[in-house]
Structure 1
Amino acid sequence: MLRNIRNPEQYVPLKRVNIAAIIRSFAADVCITQVFRNDETTPIEAVYCFPIEKQAAIYAFVARIDDREIVAQLKEKKVAQREYNEALQQGHGAYLLEQDEKSQDNFIINVGALPAGKECHIIISYVSELDLVENGTKIRFVIPTTIAPRYNPDQGGIISPADTSSNSISHPIQVDLSQQDFYVITFAQQNTHLDRDILLDVELDEKRSNTIIAVESGAIMASFTPSEEDCQRAINNTEITNEFIFVVDCSGSMDGENKIGLAAQAILLFLKSLPINCHFNIVRFGSQHQTLFKDITAVYNEKNTQKAEQLVKNMNADLGGTELLLPLQWLEKNPPVQGRARQIFLLTDGEISNVNEVLDLCRTMATSTRIFSFGLGFSPSRSLVKGLARATNGRFVFIPPHTSVDVHVGEQLQKALQPCITNVQVKWHLGNVTMTSVPMKTPPVYVNDRLIVYALMADKSTLFDHNSSVKLKTEKHRLGKAKVARIPGVDNSGTIARLAAKALILELQHAKLPS
């Protein structure tokens, strides 16, 4: 969306979009070209809001007008802003790409003075990790094409050989199977309306190893997906009491698209499925927050369940604004007692501005609390919904309107009750090379979910022989192993190295947060 800064209600027409992506293992390298045209009679200063996943890393930004080409340089933020403003004052074209401070899944591109009658070509290249979905059976590739609305699922797909299918749940596609080592996937229609996110699911082989690696010169990505048997061998069967706290968004924005109805359906299903001897509570929030029980939690019994069901059946989107920080601060000040683990189920459309502040608070709660977040409606904040889950080792799911919540509730509750493998040790066998293992401290990993680790070489030209391998283990148990010898070819695109660098930056940022 390209907007005239001086007239925010005026939009610069987007004439064409071209999207090209290469997917290898859990990594995607994406190049998006957008063509805008100033149909006005005077030059305008324009800004474009570009949606992108938080774990993605933009590595190239090029702007072209006629025969002029501007290639972005990475600079400290204040320096970049000053130089951009100076260029505008001198009448030059200027371009600025920066991350939105309030919502880290948006980047703001100031494309500067766009002359009358001229086209502006914006080319953005980025890499991103891909999520594992549907209980570990599929990899999902997402390109968020719009801020709002997000998408209205529309089935379309084609079956590929070798028990692997590529399925777009947002746009009809066609698959070219003629190449030996890869598939080429294109839109089935020549002119496709990008009025919703592009979603592409790739089904994994049922007989795959639990450890898969992708290799390029100077970097390796390894993904580990434990089975239930892997987890049973590795965990310590310590009995612990769970407490479940439902934090539900009842702000005015939840009224549309039946979002408050989806939230109510989900909570009612949870209330019928909680384990015996647990404790629970319901927290409604908007401009203020209200709790079902005065105590932090109450025992899960018939009397309290009936009270909760009555509250949920009469629940409305009537609490004004969306102040998620307040109920989370209340929970942070009242941590679970010794011997209990807290599982928070958050149901929201994610329309808040202070995403980073909320995420920072939740990271301080991660030792005792996990958040399982539900993004409801067409346009939830991906950075909030995904960020809350990742910051607390929980899980997330997005539920569009007019869909059933049953499967999602079952999966989230199952994951909340699952033990996890902690303190996974990563052992790289790469010869005598200087390298960095990322992350330096591995997060917990769950059944049918995946842990991604990287080896990043100091010398980018480093090559690996067929004896190179990675092993994952706990203190007492071997978990998985993969060898470079099984990789058919080595890629030199730099995708894995860029993802490793971004993962390292995020880890260092989180380590600096106050505890």
Structure 2
Amino acid sequence: MLFQLQVSLAAGHQFDRDVELLLYYQDTHQPTAIVEAAQASSKPGSLMGDPVVMLSLYPEFPKDVMSSMTSHGEFLFVVDRSGSMECPMHLGSGSQDRIGSARDTLLLLLKSLPMGCYFNIIGFGSSYESFFSKSVEYSQKTLDEALQKVKEMRADMGGTEILQPLKHIYSQPCLPNRPPQLFLFTDGEVGNTKEVLDLVKTNAGSHRCFSFGIGEGASTALISGVAQQATGHAQFITGQDRMQPKAMQSLRFALQPAVVDISVKWNVPKGVSVTPLSPPIRVVFQGQRAILYAQLTGESSGDTEGSVTVKYSLAKQPVENQLSFILKPAEDTG
């Protein structure tokens, strides 16, 4: 559907100040499906020669569901302590080293955890070590102990071997009704990325993972792959980026209930086909838009509308949205 808007300035305006036009969405969190018409000058069957539909999800979860999840987690912070973490965050003057930035970020995250949760910190390099023998309940006593250990943390553990600490984490029994949330911080890459991602994928049903690539040398395949396989979120900290705001955003995501069993089903009349142009939606967070594009090809003899049905499960409750769209909107002649 094409919308047109005409704005007129009040009589007597002298253009002596900036003109600002503020637009506000109605029903911001409602999912939408919008079709862009094909270009008349393009050949049918080409990218621009057929209409494209955009599916947009920007959910708002019920407050009772959100509040019930805040203290029901186990937070596992997995921190790279290899020698390369001594390198500066960037080449500019006054740059903090990577392990120093990781320490400051951990201090902030630990102070931001909800009361009643459980947590642990695992440092790794050529080997690995845990602050506590097993996850402990978050209290003033355990917080103070962890803060002191974080302040003493150094980049003194050799190479970058992520697989073994992950195997150790996954071998531990999960606490009842406390889904584990992994926070992985690393500045490097590993020679067994596929093995790491396969392990993460195998355990994605129980452990969600939020990954952080520190510096220019962090492996995109590893950082993005871990988050994608474990329905989490990936962040990259390069140049003069500050790690703390990005870590806090991921913590907000981790405090949300996991959205699982996401499915998208297209319903179009006979003669019309749908070709997805985007990867499948694997994760949905409140306050983060998820967008899916698909191309419509073919002709329908009668029906002029199609629909898409999005289903997922939130806190064990099914959610379903069905959206209709026009198969061939009017061309934009403007």
- Tell me the CA shift for residue 483 of structure 1: 1.6
* Equivalent runs, 1:48-87 vs 2, <5 Å: none
Paired residue for 1:306?
144
State which of 420, 427, 447 in structure 1 corresponds to 2:286.
447
* Aligned-partner SS, 2:98: helix
Instruction: Describe how 1:137-152 pairs up with structure 2 within 5 A.
Output: none
**Distance in 1 separating the partners of 2:310 and 2:63:** 14
User: Whole-Å Cα distance in 2 between the matches of residues 441 and 382 of structure 1?
Assistant: 19
2:31 pairs, out of 188, 200, 210, with 210
SS in 2 for 1:371: strand
Q: Which residue of 2 aligns with 1:366?
A: 204
Give the aligned length: 286
Cα distance, 1:206 vs structure 2: 5.2
Instruction: Indicate the residue corresponding to 1:276 in structure 2.
Output: 115
- Residue type at the aligned position of 1:223: L
> What is the CA deviation profile of residues 71-91 of structure 1, one whole-angstrom value per residue up to 9, with x for unaligned ones?
xxxxxxxxxxxxxxxxxxxxx
CA separation in 2, counterparts of 1:265 and 1:292?
A: 17
Residue type of the alignment partner of 1:224: S
Match 2:321 to one of 475, 479, 484: 479
**Is 1:254 matched up with 2:85?**
yes
* Aligned residue in 1 for 2:103: 264
Q: Secondary structure at the match of 2:112?
A: coil
TM-score w.r.t. the length of structure 1 is: 0.49
Partners of 1:206 and 1:381 lie apart in 2 by 38
SS at match of 2:298: coil
- 1:373 maps to a residue whose letter is S
Structure 1 residues 281 and 420: CA distance shift in structure 2, 3 A = closer
Deviation at 1:275, TM superposition (A): 0.5
Matched letter for residue 80 of structure 2: D
Determine the C-alpha separation between the residues in 1 that align with 2:55 and 2:181: 26
Q: Is the 1:243–1:341 Cα contact (8 Å) retained in structure 2? A: yes
For residue 232 of structure 1, the aligned residue among 53, 57, 62 is: 62
Alignment RMSD (CA, Å): 3.5
Query: 8 Å contact 1:281–1:291 — kept in the other structure?
Result: yes
- Structure 2: gaps of 5 or more residues: 1-19, 39-44, 89-96
Q: Which amino acid aligns with 1:210?
A: P
Cα deviations across residues 359-380 of structure 1 (Å, max 9, x unaligned)?
Answer: 1110011111111111111332
Structure 1 residue 412 and structure 2 residue 278: aligned? no
Q: Does 1:355 align with 2:185?
A: no
CA distance in 1, matches of 2:252, 2:185: 17
Select the structure with the greater relative contact order (CA < 8 A; seq sep ≥ 6).
2
Which has a greater percent of strand? Answer: 1
Equivalent residue for 2:260?
422
State the alpha-carbon separation in 1 of the partners of residues 63 and 279 from structure 2: 24
Given that residues 278 and 299 in structure 1 are in contact (C-alpha distance below 8 angstroms), is that contact kept between their aligned partners in structure 2? Answer: yes
- Seen in structure 2, the aligned counterparts of structure 1 residues 386 and 484 have a Cα distance that, compared at 3 Å, is farther
- Percent of paired sites with the same residue: 33
**2:245 counterpart of 1:245:** no
Residue 462 (1) aligns with residue 286 (2): no
Asked whether the equivalents of residues 76 and 120 of structure 2 are also in contact (C-alpha less than 8 Å), the reply is yes
When residues 488 and 319 of structure 1 are mapped into structure 2, their CA distance, relative to the original with a 3 A threshold, is farther
When the two structures are superposed, what TM-score results if normalisation uses the length of structure 2?
0.73
Equivalent AA in structure 1 for residue 145 of structure 2: K
**Alignment match, 1:16:** none
CA distance in 2, matches of 1:477, 1:437: 24
Are 1:235 and 1:421, in contact at CA under 8 Å, matched by a contact in 2? no
Between the aligned partners of 2:210 and 2:318, the Cα distance in structure 1 is 30
* Unmatched runs of 5 consecutive residues or more in structure 1: 1-160, 165-204, 491-515
Deviation at 1:225, TM superposition (A): 2.1
Mapped to 2, the partners of 1:237 and 1:487 lie a distance apart of: 42
Distance 1:223 1:252, change over 3 A: farther
Q: State the match for 1:341 in structure 2.
A: 179
Q: Distance in 2 between matches of 1:330 and 1:291?
A: 10
CA gap 1:236/1:227 in 2 versus in 1, 3 angstroms: closer
Instruction: Report the Cα offset of residue 292 of structure 1.
Output: 0.4
1:84-109 Cα shifts (integer Å, max 9, x gaps): xxxxxxxxxxxxxxxxxxxxxxxxxx
Does structure 1 residue 388 correspond to structure 2 residue 226?
Answer: yes
2:270 and 2:59 map into 1 onto residues whose CA distance is 33
- Quick check: 1:210–1:224 contact (8 Å CA) kept in 2? yes
| Alpha-carbon spacing, 1:340–1:486, altered in 2? closer, same or farther (3 Å) | farther
2:10 is matched with none
Task: Decide whether the 8 Å contact of 1:286 with 1:319 is kept in 2.
Answer: yes
TM-fit CA distance, 1:414: 0.6
> Could you say if the C-alpha distance between residues 319 and 282 of structure 1 is closer, same or farther in structure 2, counting changes exceeding 3 Å?
same
CA distance in 2 between partners of 1:357 and 1:420 (Å): 25
Alignment of 1:22-171 (within 5 A): none
